[in-house]
């Protein structure tokens, strides 16, 4: 049981990111003081969205300079905090060097942030943003799980540096976090494992791969059809509530799968078509698996990914978060439409 004093500041890594934006909003709305270590606090194009939130909320935000790859750089921001949210980690699919671009910031970042936690006596709880990617590598993996459904007890055992490297980065980082947490007894670790996150961004230009994926539904990339890939999804606003509950629910413990429902990209296209009719080239059909397999290298995915993930269902048990963190989820249709609408307003789809 860990009780967090809301009068103390709360630290969050990666505040400029897509997922963290809504967590920062929730913390500010609840009147908390947010310590936000970011790579470049002077870069107003990254922090202006958070400043706007703070201007109309009872809480306040204080920036610090820190980098996941710089040991000790989170010390100053963490001072006096009882609660630390560690969200920062690159979520990008197209990388040149998976070790340098994904694994190093995920793993060394976790080591560095948690080393600062170990040396900051005020910290009582760390909430880590991991991913369903640390639970499921390829969709096919789920067939080998109990009842052919993923739960918090499952770990991704199939991703490597060359096969689904983002998922690998999340798996090694979360494992390391548990190892470090188990080496001490002053603070507890609560892990959030979100499925694919969708919904409007506080910073609509954040680097998250979520934007790239949803953009492809409307920019003509899926005009000929969508791959038969089913994946779990959750709204970024509901995910912020999950993080908040993980931070402030005294009895919260362990991992939590966070998702509203599972859908294919074709079904997302159909949801968008119900709202926007034929105004955008949403996918209308599923592409045959053999065709996607053939084209895979030209569109930046591997044939192994196609073989092991397309055409397999994504089944998870999300009940722990619903009961333990008291979560409710928006329908996926609301999330996808709200996100797409934000993209239209931003001029993402030039006519
Ligand atoms: P994002 O918008 O790209 O945010 C990533 C954040 O990490 C940014 O704030 C970025 O800072 C920061 N960061 C990256 N490298 C850094 C470094 N070397 N030093 C300090 N900060 C660094 O991505 P996101 O989707 O919000 O992802 C946030 C977290 O959610 C990640 O842990 C991701 O694995 C997890 N997650 C995301 C999804 C999803 O579908 N989006 C699903 C499951 C889990 P800059 O602004 O300076 O680049």
**Other CB atoms closer than 10 Å to residue 224's CB: what's the count?**
12
Nearest protein Cα to ligand 1, atom 44: 131
Ligand 1, pocket-test mutation among 11, 12, 17, most atoms within 8 A of CB: 17
Q: Is 69 a pocket residue for ligand 1 (Cβ < 6 Å)?
A: yes
Q: Enumerate the H helices of the chain as residue ranges.
A: 18-29, 44-55, 75-78, 98, 109-119, 165-182, 209-218, 236-248, 265-276, 289-295, 303-309, 319-324, 332-346
Q: Is 131 a pocket residue for ligand 1 (Cβ < 6 Å)?
A: yes
Ramachandran angles phi, psi of 84, nearest 5°: -125, 125
CA of 232 to the centre of ligand 1 (A): 19
CA of 17 to the centre of ligand 1 (A): 5
The pLDDT value given to residue 328 = 97
Q: What is the mean pLDDT of each run of 10 residues along the chain (351 residues)?
A: 97 97 98 98 95 97 98 98 98 91 98 98 98 98 98 98 96 98 98 98 87 93 93 98 98 98 96 96 95 89 94 98 98 98 90 61
CA of 169 to the centre of ligand 1 (A): 12
Q: Report the alpha-carbon distance of residue 343 to residue 350 in Å, rounded.
A: 10
Nearest protein Cα to ligand 1, atom 18: 68
* Rg from Cα positions in the chain: 20
Please report the domains of the chain, with CATH numbers, ordered by start residue.
10-344 (3.40.50.720)
Q: Is 207 a pocket residue for ligand 1 (Cβ < 6 Å)?
A: yes
The pLDDT value given to residue 299 = 81
Q: What atom in ligand 1 is closest to the CA of residue 194?
A: 43
- 131 three-class SS: coil
Full-model pTM: 0.97
The pLDDT value given to residue 207 = 78
The pLDDT value given to residue 351 = 61
CA of 35 to the centre of ligand 1 (A): 17
Q: Report the alpha-carbon distance of residue 209 to residue 77 in Å, rounded.
A: 27
Q: Is 87 a pocket residue for ligand 1 (Cβ < 6 Å)?
A: yes
Q: Enumerate the H helices of 126-230 as residue ranges.
A: 165-182, 209-218
Q: Report the alpha-carbon distance of residue 9 to residue 53 in Å, rounded.
A: 17
Q: What atom in ligand 1 is closest to the CA of residue 14?
A: 9
The pLDDT value given to residue 87 = 98
Q: Is 86 a pocket residue for ligand 1 (Cβ < 6 Å)?
A: no
Of 319, 330, 338, 305, give the one whose Cα is nearest residue 93: 305
Type and span of the H or E element at 33: strand 33-38
Question: Can you read off the two tokens belonging to residue 78?
Answer: 């963490």
Q: Is 197 a pocket residue for ligand 1 (Cβ < 6 Å)?
A: yes
Nearest protein Cα to ligand 1, atom 23: 208
Q: Which residue's structure tokens are 């997922």?
A: 19
CA of 68 to the centre of ligand 1 (A): 11
- Name 282's Cβ contacts closer than 8 Å, sequence gap at least 6: 217, 218, 222, 269, 270, 272, 273, 276
The pLDDT value given to residue 51 = 97
CA of 207 to the centre of ligand 1 (A): 7
CA of 137 to the centre of ligand 1 (A): 19
Longest Cα–Cα distance in the chain:
57
Q: What is the pLDDT of residues 204-218, one digit of tens each?
A: 887 789 999 999 999
């Amino acid at each position: 049981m860990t009780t967090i004093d809301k009068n103390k500041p709360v630290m969050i890594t990666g505040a400029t990111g897509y997922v963290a934006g809504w967590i920062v909003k929730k913390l500010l709305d609840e009147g908390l003081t947010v310590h936000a270590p970011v790579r470049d606090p002077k870069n107003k194009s990254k922090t202006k969205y958070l400043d706007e939130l703070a201007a109309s909320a009872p809480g306040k935000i204080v920036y610090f300079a820190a980098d996941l790859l710089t040991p000790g750089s989170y010390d100053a921001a963490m001072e006096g905090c009882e609660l630390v949210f560690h969200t920062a980690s690159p979520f990008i699919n197209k990388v040149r060097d998976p070790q340098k671009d994904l694994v190093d910031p995920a793993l060394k970042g976790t080591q560095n942030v948690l080393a600062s936690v170990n040396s900051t006596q005020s910290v009582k709880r760390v909430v880590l943003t991991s991913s369903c990617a640390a639970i499921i590598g390829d969709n096919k993996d789920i067939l080998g799980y109990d009842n052919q459904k993923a739960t918090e007890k499952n770990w991704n055992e199939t991703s490597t540096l060359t096969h689904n490297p983002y998922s690998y980065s999340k798996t090694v980082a979360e494992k390391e976090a548990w190892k470090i947490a188990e080496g001490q007894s002053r603070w507890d670790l609560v892990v959030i494992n979100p499925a694919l996150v969708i919904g409007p961004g506080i910073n609509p230009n954040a680097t998250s791969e979520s934007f790239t994926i949803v953009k492809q539904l409307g920019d003509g990339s899926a005009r000929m059809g969508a791959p038969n890939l089913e994946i779990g999804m959750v709204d970024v606003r509901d995910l912020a509530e999950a993080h908040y509950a993980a931070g402030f629910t005294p009895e919260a413990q362990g991992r939590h799968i966070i998702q509203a429902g599972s859908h294919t990209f074709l079904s997302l296209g159909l949801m968008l078509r119900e709202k926007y009719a034929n105004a955008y080239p949403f996918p209308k059909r599923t592409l045959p698996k053999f065709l996607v397999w053939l084209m895979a290298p030209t569109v930046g995915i591997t044939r192994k990914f196609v073989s092991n993930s397309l055409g397999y269902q994504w089944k998870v048990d999300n009940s722990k978060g619903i009961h333990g963190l008291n979560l409710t989820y928006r329908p996926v249709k609301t999330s996808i439409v709200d996100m797409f609408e934000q993209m239209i307003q931003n001029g993402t789809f030039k006519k």
